[in-house]
Structure 1
Amino acid sequence: MAAFLEPHNLILVGIILMLLVFSSFFSSSETALTAASRVRMHAAEKDGDKRAVIVQRLMNVRERLLGGILLGNNLVNILASVLTTTLFTNVFGASATALAAATAVMTALILIFAEVLPKTYAISQPDKLALIVARPINLIIKLLGPVVLIVQVIVNGVLRVFGIDTNASAWTAADEIKGAVDLHLQEGGVAKRARDQIYGVLEIGELSIEEVMTHRRNIAMIDADAPPEQIIKEAIASGHSRIPVYREDTDNVIGVLHMKDLLKAVTKTNGSIEALDIKKVARDPWFVPETTSAVKQLRAFQQKREHFALVVDEYGSLMGVISLEDILEEIVGDIQDEYDEEIVGVKRMKTGAAVVRGDVAIRDLNRAMDWKLPDDEGPVTIAGLVIHESQTIPNSGQVFAYHGYRFEILAKQRNQISSLRVEKTFEPDMRSERD
C-alpha cells in the first residue's frame, strides 16, 4: 500500500482515470453521432442551432467520423492499459500476477466505465448528446485527419479485394421512410391506415395510369343512337356522375355525359324527353395515353380543372377510364360513397384467406389484406399475376403457389379468371396440383 501511495504512482492513477474519461467521451460520442436522428438535426438546423450544422456535416462523412473516433478511443485505451501495467508493476513487481491483475482491472474499467455506461447513456438521448459533442469531435477529426485518411485508404483497398463497394447503398430515402413507418406500425405508434397513406404518397410517382384506371370491361357506356328514354335509364342505373358516350363501336367515344348536364338538359325541355339531343349534352372527350404517369395525370387534372379522362393504347383503342378519385385513392385509400361496396371484389374468410375477383388490382388486395404480393412491375391484377407466373390460362380447380401465397382458381369466364381464392402460405412455388 505504501508503494501505491508514492507520488509517481498517484500521478499514474490520475492519468489513467483521465484517460478513462476520454475513452468514455469517445464511446458515447460514437453512439450519439451514429444514432442521432437526421430529421431532428435538420429541424434544429432550421431553428438556427449551429451545432446541428456540425452534426449534419459529421454524419455525411461517416467513414472519417468513425475512423477518427475509433483512432482516438484506441489511443487512450492502449495508453491507459500500458500505464496500468506500469502501475501494477511498480506496486507488485514485474511478475505474471501483476500483469494478470492489470489486465483484469483494466478490462473491467474499460468495459463498464468506458463502453457500456457511456453508450447506454448515449443511446437513451442521442440527439441531445450529439449536439454537445459536435464541436470537440469535429476538432479531433480535423487534427487526426491525415492519419484517418491513410486508414481509410487501407480499409477501402482491402474491402475492394473482397468485392465490397463501400459507396453502394441498396436503400433509398423512400425505403428508409417505409422501414421507419413499418417499425412504428409494429410498435403501435402508427395506424395501418396512416401507414398505407404514407406508402401511397411515396409510391404514387412510380405508377402509370394503366395501373390505376378502371378497365373498359368494368365501365358503363352509353350508345349515342339509343332512344333518349333508354339513355336516361342507363345513366341513372350506372351510379356514375360521368359516362362515356360512343357511336357504333365502343372504341369510337364521341363524348362524356355528365349527370349534371343531363339534369339541366331535361329541365330545359320541360319534361319532353324525346327532344333530348345527347350529342349536344355530352362534353368533348379527353383522351390520354396509358403510359402517362399517375403524378403527371394528377397535375393535368388540376390544370384543366377536369376529373375524368379516357385512357387509350398506342393504337387508339379504349383501354379504360381514369378519374381524379382513382388517383387520390392510391394515396388516401378507398373513397367510398353510398354506391360503393365496402371492399370491392375482396371477401375475407375467417381462415385468413380471401375470395378475390380476378380483376382486383394487386395493390388493392395488398392494402385490404396487409399482404406483400409483388406489385412493383409486370401484371396489375391478381388474375394477371397468376397467368404471368404460370405462363398459361388456368382452368377452374387448378391450384398454384407463388411468392409465399396459394392461388386456387374458383371460376373462369372464357379466357378470363373471374374468381380465385388466395391465402398466405409457406408452400414452395408450384405450377399446379391438378392438370
Structure 2
Amino acid sequence: MDDISTSSLTAILFGLLFLSAFFSSSETGMMSINRYRLKHLVKSNHRAARLVSKLLKRPDRLIGVILIGNNLVNIMATLVANAIALRLWGDYGVAVLPIPLTIMFLLFAEVTPKTLAAVHPERIAFPASFILTPLLKLLSPLVVMVNFLSNGMLRMFGVRVADHQDDHLSSEELRTVVNEAGGMIPKRHQKMLLSILDLEHATVEDIMVPKNEIIGVDLEEQLDDILNQLRNTQHTRLPVYQESIDKVKGMLHARHIANLMSRDIEDITKETIRDYMTPVYFVPEGTPLNTQLLKFQRKKQRVGMVVDEYGDIQGLVTIEDILEEIVGEFTTDFAATTSKDIHPQDDGSFLLDGTVTVRDLNRALRIDLPTDGPKTLSGLIIEYLETIPQPGTGLKLDGHPIEVLQIKGNLVKSVKMWRDSSQASRTK
C-alpha cells in the first residue's frame, strides 16, 4: 500500500465500509422479509421475489456467501484503516485505531444498515438479490466447503439443514395474522375469516334445532290438517314422521310440495305424500362444522337429522345454519333473529327463553358463557345447580346474575339475566 496515496486509501476505506453495510443489510433484509408476501409476489412473477425465494431455499448457502463477503470486506477495511493510521499518526495511531474503527463499523456498517433492512426488508432484499445471486455462483466452491464444515458441526447437535421445510401457519397463528391485519382486511371480512377457523371447534350439536322444536309432517294427523300445513309452510324442507320425530320416514322438499299441491285434491292421499318423500340424511352429533359443511357439499344435501351414538334423533341441522356461523344471520333485522328467545328490558336486563342456545346468547349479548358443556341456557343452569330449580332461584353464571322465573316440567322455561352484578343491584 506504500504506492497508494492517503486520499486513495481513505476512498477505498469508505468503499469497503459501504460494501460491509451492503452485506450486513442484505443479511437482515433477507431474513426479515415476509415469507407469505414473498410467495404471493413469486406467484405474480416478480423477478426479484423469485431470486430472493430461490436464495432463501438454502439459507445456509445464503448466509455463507454473505458472511464470507462481509468478513473479507471487514478484514480488508481493517488493513486499510491500519495503513492510514500508521501514515498519519504512526504507532500511536495504530494503537488507538480499534476504538474509532469499532464505532465507525457499528454505526455505518452494522446498526444503521441492519435497522434500515429490518424496517424495509423488501427495499433491501430485492436489489441485493441481483448481486448475491451471481456472487453465490462465483464463490460457490468456497461456500460449499464452508457449509460442509458448518453443517457437519450442526449435525453433531442433531440439526439437519437438509430437512429444512417452508414455514406453515397453524390455525391459531393464522387467527393472529387475521387479527393483526388491521385496515388491510375489512372488519366484516376479518370476522368471516375467523368464523371459518372457528368451525373446527364447534359441532353440529352446537347449532342444531333441538328435537322438540323441529317442525314436520305427522302422518298420523288428519289429511286435511296435513294439506293445510303444507300449503302454509315457510320451510323449504320438512321431515315426515309417524307419531313422533323419532320415527322419521323421509323429507319433503318445497318443489315436491308444490308438485303435490298442484294435483287434484281427490288424488292426494298419505301414500301419495310418501311417494314424494326423499331419504333422510343422518348426521352424528359430534361432527365438526367444517367437516359437515364438506359432507353436505359432497353428498349434495342441505339438511340432516342429527343422531346420537345410539341412533336416537337429537335435532336437525341445515347447511344454512353452518353458513350463518360464517357470515351471520341472513336477515339484517337484529330483532327478528333474537326477539323469539331474547327480550331486552327497560331496566337493562334481558328476559330469556330457557331453550336459547348458549352460542346464540353469547353472540347476541357479547358475553362468554361456557360452550363446552350443555348447549342451552336451561341445561347450563341445571348442570350448575345440579338440580331442577324452583321459580325465584338466583345464581351467577360466569359473573352474570340470573333469576329463574318459570319452570315447565324438567325444563327452565324462562329466566331474567343481567350482564353484571352492579347492574342487577341497581335494578332490585
TM-score between both structures, scaled by the size of structure 2: 0.71
Distance 1:346 1:66 in 2: 61
Gap change, CA 1:74 and 1:362, over 3 Å in 2: farther
Tell whether 2:312 aligns with 1:313.
no
Distance 1:358 1:145 in 2: 71
Q: Which structure 2 residue ranges, 5 or more long, are not aligned? A: 422-428
Q: 1:103 aligns with which of 94, 99, 102?
A: 99
Quote the RMSD (CA, aligned, Å): 4.9
Gap change, CA 1:114 and 1:357, over 3 Å in 2: farther
Match of 2:244 in 1: 249
Q: 1:30 aligns with which of 27, 30, 49?
A: 27
Distance 1:105 1:316 in 2: 80
Distance 1:203 1:118 in 2: 39
Q: 2:282 aligns with which of 288, 305, 316?
A: 288
Distance 2:237 2:207 in 1: 17
SS in 2 for 1:314: coil
SS in 2 for 1:134: helix
Deviations 1:198-227 (A, max 9, x none): 223445466543344333243223422112
| Amino-acid identity (%) | 25
Q: 1:81 touches 1:103 (CA, 8 Å); kept in 2?
A: no
Equivalent residue letter for 1:199: L
Q: What is the CA distance between 1:320 and its match in structure 2?
A: 1.4
SS in 2 for 1:240: coil
Q: What is the CA distance between 1:305 and its match in structure 2?
A: 4.0
Match of 2:319 in 1: 324
Q: 2:205 aligns with which of 190, 205, 210?
A: 210
SS in 1 for 2:185: coil
Deviations 1:50-96 (A, max 9, x none): 5433322333444654565456545544653564355334423434x
SS in 1 for 2:180: helix
Deviations 1:326-356 (A, max 9, x none): 2222333322288983457567899999887
Q: 1:115 aligns with which of 111, 114, 131?
A: 111
Q: How does 1:159-238 map to 2 (within 5 A)?
A: 172-184=169-181, 187-204=182-199, 208-231=203-226
Gap change, CA 1:70 and 1:301, over 3 Å in 2: same
Distance 1:221 1:300 in 2: 23
Q: What is the CA distance between 1:316 and its match in structure 2?
A: 1.4
Gap change, CA 1:84 and 1:369, over 3 Å in 2: farther
Match of 2:424 in 1: none
Gap change, CA 1:123 and 1:257, over 3 Å in 2: same
Name the count of aligned residue pairs: 405
Q: What is the CA distance between 1:11 and its match in structure 2?
A: 4.7
Distance 2:353 2:73 in 1: 67
Deviations 1:171-210 (A, max 9, x none): 72544443222112xx333222201222234454665433
Q: 2:348 touches 2:418 (CA, 8 Å); kept in 1?
A: no
Distance 2:358 2:307 in 1: 22
Q: 2:17 touches 2:109 (CA, 8 Å); kept in 1?
A: yes
Q: 2:29 touches 2:117 (CA, 8 Å); kept in 1?
A: no
Q: 2:126 aligns with which of 125, 131, 144?
A: 131
Equivalent residue letter for 2:176: G
Q: 2:89 aligns with which of 78, 89, 92?
A: 92
Distance 2:356 2:166 in 1: 34
Equivalent residue letter for 2:210: H
Larger Rg: 2
Q: What is the CA distance between 1:254 and its match in structure 2?
A: 1.4
**Which piece of structure 1 moves more, 131-140 or 358-367?**
358-367
Distance 2:234 2:12 in 1: 84
Match of 1:45 in 2: 42
Deviations 1:1-59 (A, max 9, x none): xxxx9935445423422222222212322233233343443344334455433322333
Distance 1:191 1:350 in 2: 34
